[in-house]
Structure 1
Amino acid sequence: MQFQTEILIIGGGLAGLTAALHLNKLGFEVVLLEKSSYPHHKVCGEYISNEVLPYFTWLGIDLKNLAPTQITNLQFTSASGKYVNAVLPLGGFGLSRYSIDYYLYNLAINRGVNIIHQKVDRVVYVEDQFVVETTSGTSFEARYVLGAYGKRSAIDVKLERNFINQKSPYLAIKAHYKSNFPNNLVSLNNYSGGYCGISKVENDVLNVCYLANYESFKKHKDIQAYQENVLYQNKNLKNILQEAEMVFDAPLTISQISFHKKEPVFNHVLMIGDTAGLIHPLCGNGMAMAIHSAKIVSELIQKRTENKTSRNSLENEYTANWQKLFGSRLKLGRILSMILQHKTYERLAINSITAMPFVLRKIIKHTHGQPIKMKN
């Protein structure tokens, strides 16, 4: 079976669904391929900076019925027991991926986006045209392909992307809990071998998502043992997790998390969200970046269509815009990771932040963007 479309999006997460809604609003024919059914949970920090709100308004996305938590404050705690508090300049909100992805999916369906639940097997670019084949035997021809399939995929292996062969020492673990944790707070907690982000989402549920070094993790028999022997070394984490009651039957996990540099464009596929670059969770802004990247690529596709510019011009402009908006954030995240994994450097960094709170404010400023500007 074979289909033709203007734009094919591989992956129906936050970036893919947002791009589908944007391109659909511009009048493009869009097909989105997603291997999983909705709704489903994902390993994610589930905090979104308010910088996305003007863009959501333009797209006609109204999240108030999902009852997101309103987050105004940040707390950072170190493995040594010190902590620093700060006000988030723009603030943000907490929503589970279960809720927001399902909402965007239904919105896209209602607006006429063709969403097909099949797994992509192969992507080929020949003579200014893509052919995308699924494991179900369906073939799609498309003028543009957007890669929105997440952090790591078999597609990356088949495309032979550069980062895929580099060592990926991290895994991520996430679960929801019932807890008395403050609704307006996002807490970032450093511990030996990783980081843990904690904040409320809808329905008074606490999201706990942490990044663990695999070499450290495998020394323990299970997740509970790892938490008790490693995460509990951070007193703040110990107090929160001991008091909380898990809602999930079992935590979700994903492995081979890589923060190596990726290409925003590879083999003419326009990559968005985590597929283009994964920001360190310590920066707490990956969801907003995924949403923003969907806007950038959608506007550039429209620009090329209107101005009849070359594909190379589109790809070069997208790469430049990605680097301008997100390059420094990704780099700072990698630097912070290296500092906080070294005990001596971590102690010096925490002492500096404690003595000079403006340092933390500068870090927040450089890892969060400004409100996304929309054209009239």
Structure 2
Amino acid sequence: MTPIDAEALIVGGGLAGSMVALELAKAGRGAVLLERSKAAHHKVCGEFLSAETIHYLARHNVDLPALGAISLHSVRLVLRRGIVEDRLPFAAYSLTRSVLDEALLTHAAAAGVVVERNSAVEHLQPQGAAWCASVRDGRSFRSANIFLATGKHDLRGFSRPAGTHRGLIAFKMYYRLTPQQHAQLGAAVELILFPGGYAGLQPVEDGRVNLCLLVTGKCLKSVGSNWAGLVPYLFRHAPHLEERLRGAVSLLDAPLTASHIPYGHMQAASRDGLWHLGDQAAVIPSFCGDGMAIALHSGAVAAHHFLKGDRAETYQLQLRSQLGRRLALATRLSQAMVAWPEAAQIARLVPGLLSRIASMTRIPDTALLR
């Protein structure tokens, strides 16, 4: 079939892909977005919307309260020997990815972006001065500029390095807590440490809570390499979590899982015309809750450079200079929490430490596009 030409071709319709599409459409430029899914679906994600995330969504008039987003005010670090709580140093919300991603795709289509659903790209290869993307249904698309925004999924031939924090498996489950436990959780994000990993628990819309956790492969193997064995292990080593989930109802038939996530990865360079966005550009450890902000920021910054006529390499270098040190710090902290969870007791001795860490691992305010 004759390739379909596009000024800009976006592979992936998550946060990063939708943001670059919206920015290009706002500037009156043409864009085609290829999204592999047919409809809204859940993703392995903590679903924490930081101030930076809110900033970028506001650029395109995304009304978070109207979508059902829950306002969050504090963070609790749950240790074996106590709980440390701090106010969040910024406004924050939570909203499920199935709702947010669909809202952004709807905004993109309304802005004039050609959104192609059920269009999984199987091959991406250079073709003269352009790139050609082959879709599973037999179609192909050609563009001199490919925005690679496939999230945790690598395209064949474009695998990311293993990252600096390896061997972690992610799980995610939605629950409906008892009214008492839901009230006690309140408008807080709880970061719960246990030997071999950590978990995040927070309310989301419709009275649900999101439990998202990381565990080492060694730890998971020791409990039978399955969710049924992992849950009793969590309850044994994190009594606070057992209390929260006592009487809770699971809302998914099985947890969502993801492995081989290259935490700590930062894209060093790019081939001409290939723009790496979101998790394809930088993968920050989950405890920071900044992965969604990085996805949106990378999409906006990439569009900014594209519209200026810059090369992809220029964008990639700027993103690295903005995020590199913060990503490295977050990765070291995550490694420490997994290897020595008791070391987090220092947070009980230093008032405001959690807020300081939250600020030090986020996108610098000066880097945000206004």
Structure 1 window deviating more from structure 2 (3-12 vs 245-254): it is 245-254
Residue by residue, what CA displacement relative to the aligned partner does 1:177-234 show, whole Å, maximum 9, x if unpaired? 1123334101111111111111111112101111111222133343132111235411
Which residue of the partner structure matches residue 110 of structure 1?
110
Deviation at 1:54, TM superposition (A): 3.3
Residue by residue, what CA displacement relative to the aligned partner does 1:75-130 show, whole Å, maximum 9, x if unpaired? 1123x333211111112100001111111122222222112221112212244311
Supply the distance in 2 between the matched residues of 1:149 and 1:183 (Cα, whole angstroms): 34
Aligned partner (choices 167, 176, 180) of residue 178 of structure 1: 176
Which residue of the partner structure matches residue 362 of structure 2?
368
DSSP-derived class of the 2:112 partner: coil
Which residue of the partner structure matches residue 323 of structure 1?
320
Aligned partner (choices 324, 333, 337) of residue 336 of structure 1: 333
DSSP-derived class of the 1:175 partner: strand
DSSP-derived class of the 1:248 partner: coil
* Structure 1 residue ranges, 4+ long, deviating more than 6 angstroms after superposition: none
Counterpart residue type for residue 257 of structure 2: T
Structure 1 window deviating more from structure 2 (273-282 vs 359-368): it is 359-368
**Does the 8 Å contact 1:161/1:266 carry over to 2?**
no
Alignment TM-score, normalising by the size of structure 1: 0.89
Residue by residue, what CA displacement relative to the aligned partner does 1:12-44 show, whole Å, maximum 9, x if unpaired? 111111211111111111111111112111110
Residue by residue, what CA displacement relative to the aligned partner does 1:337-362 show, whole Å, maximum 9, x if unpaired? 2222333xx43x32321111233222
1:1-376 → structure 2 map (5 Å cutoff): 1=1, 2-78=3-79, 80-116=80-116, 117-153=118-154, 155=155, 157-159=156-158, 161-163=160-162, 168-179=166-177, 180-181=181-182, 182-221=185-224, 222-263=226-267, 265-268=269-272, 269-304=274-309, 309=310, 314-343=311-340, 346-347=341-342, 349-369=343-363, 373-375=368-370
RMSD: 2.1
Deviation at 1:286, TM superposition (A): 0.8
DSSP-derived class of the 1:203 partner: coil
Supply the distance in 2 between the matched residues of 1:26 and 1:283 (Cα, whole angstroms): 32
**Does the 8 Å contact 1:69/1:183 carry over to 2?**
no
Counterpart residue type for residue 218 of structure 2: E
Structure 1 window deviating more from structure 2 (4-13 vs 234-243): it is 234-243
Residue by residue, what CA displacement relative to the aligned partner does 1:149-195 show, whole Å, maximum 9, x if unpaired? 01232x1x41354448x994121111111123334101111111111
**Does the 8 Å contact 2:203/2:210 carry over to 1?**
yes
**Does the 8 Å contact 1:265/1:271 carry over to 2?**
no
| Count of residue pairs brought into register by the alignment | 360
**Does the 8 Å contact 1:185/1:199 carry over to 2?**
yes
Supply the distance in 2 between the matched residues of 1:160 and 1:265 (Cα, whole angstroms): 14
Alpha carbons of 1:183 and 1:292: their partners in 2 closer, same or farther (altered >3 Å)? Answer: farther
Unaligned runs of 5+ in 2: none
Alpha carbons of 1:374 and 1:256: their partners in 2 closer, same or farther (altered >3 Å)? Answer: closer
Supply the distance in 1 between the matched residues of 2:173 and 2:258 (Cα, whole angstroms): 12
Supply the distance in 1 between the matched residues of 2:11 and 2:132 (Cα, whole angstroms): 12
Identity of aligned residues (%): 28
**Does the 8 Å contact 1:163/1:262 carry over to 2?**
no
Alignment TM-score, normalising by the size of structure 2: 0.91
Deviation at 1:53, TM superposition (A): 2.8
Supply the distance in 1 between the matched residues of 2:219 and 2:55 (Cα, whole angstroms): 42
Unaligned runs of 5+ in 1: none
**Does the 8 Å contact 2:120/2:136 carry over to 1?**
yes
**Does the 8 Å contact 2:165/2:335 carry over to 1?**
no
